[in-house]
Structure 1
Amino acid sequence: MREELAGTVLGFDFGERRIGVALGETLLGIAHPLITIDTLVTDERFAAIANLLAEWKPVALIVGLPTHADGTPHNMTRLATKFSNRLKARYGLPVFLVDERYTSEVAESMLNDAGLRGRKQKPALDQVAAQAILQSWFEGVGERA
């Protein structure tokens, strides 16, 4: 399915408090951190997402699917799946789920390499995790929600 899509895609690292967002182009296959949506209010979250969709006009949305290390689901798996279903229903775009195991560790390592450590990582961690999720999708990991 990736081969059929051409254009901008947005990747999401879903959290109960924060949603990291990354941006990429299917032609280049390179993801970049974009923004962190930091609110508990559902309407505010979807308003921010709607603004991003209006600005970037993506052809698809990619959502990280959290699981335990052994791949079994947990509560955040259910919440991320619900989030992906809501994106699909609201915006009518293709939505893909990507295994996000270890993306937070990858994001933390990337930020360490960039010289950001400890508390300095917090503002960027979720969007860099979204970048890792989106990059995984570019590399062929994922399925349609």
Structure 2
Amino acid sequence: MKIVGLDVGSKTIGVAVSDLLGMTAQGITTIKWDEAEVSSADEQLKQIIEEHAVGKAVIGLPKHMNGSIGERGEASMTYAEHVEKVHNIPVILWDERLTTAAAERVLLEADMSRKKRKKVIDKMAAVMILQTYLDQSK
């Protein structure tokens, strides 16, 4: 069973998918969406779930460094409930503290321009969320 990893932002959702064995995460795409209209990404996500035969979702849960959950965390929790209900797959919320910063560092080390980084940062963060989940689930 493949697993989809999602980095949910207010304007975009980074998407990564695991291999069949659950060993590695690969970045797939970034979905543009309107957070105010929670169903605005449903069609694209449905396509990805069907195309990759996804059986589970891991959604990044942004927490403050002290472990508390703020506004972004609440939004991710709401979206996780939506995904579970609409796409009928189990969803795991995964602590994503520092994943976007780590993704940014990786892209900087790859000497990627700011413009290109902006296009792939969410997808890269989704890869990191999913990969940390896969690594700790072995």
State TM-score, norm by structure 1: 0.87
Can you give the 5+ residue segments of structure 2 that lack an aligned partner in the other structure? none
Q: Deviations over 1:51-97 (max 9, x none)?
A: 11121110111100001111111011111001001111112211111
Question: Equivalences for 1:130-145 in 2 at 5 Å?
Answer: 130-140=126-136
Q: Which of 8, 18, 34 lines up with 1:14 in the alignment?
A: 8
The one-letter amino acid of 2:113's match is R
1:61 aligns with one of 57, 62, 66: 57
Q: 1:125 aligns with which of 121, 125, 129?
A: 121
Determine if the alignment matches structure 1 residue 23 to structure 2 residue 17: yes
Contact 1:12 1:130 in 2 (8 A): yes
Match status 1:36 vs 2:53: no
- Tell me by how many angstroms 1:132 deviates: 0.4
The answer for unaligned runs of 5 or more in structure 1 is 1-6
What is the Cα-based RMSD across aligned positions, in Å?
1.4
Would you say how many aligned residue pairs link Structure 1 and Structure 2? 135
CA distance in 1, matches of 2:39, 2:66: 34
Q: Deviations over 1:12-67 (max 9, x none)?
A: 00011000001112515111111000132544311111111121110111100001
Q: State the TM-score, normalizing by the size of structure 2.
A: 0.91
Q: Partner residue of 1:3?
A: none
What one-letter code is carried by the residue in structure 2 that aligns with 1:115?
A: D
> Secondary structure of the equivalent of 1:60?
strand
Q: Secondary structure at the match of 1:71?
A: coil
Structural mapping, 1:100-115, within 5 Å: 100-115=96-111
Moved over 6 A (4+): none
Q: Distance between the aligned counterparts of 1:61 and 1:116, measured in 2?
A: 29
Give the letter for the 1:138 counterpart: L
SS of 1:139's partner is: helix
Identity across matched positions, percent = 27
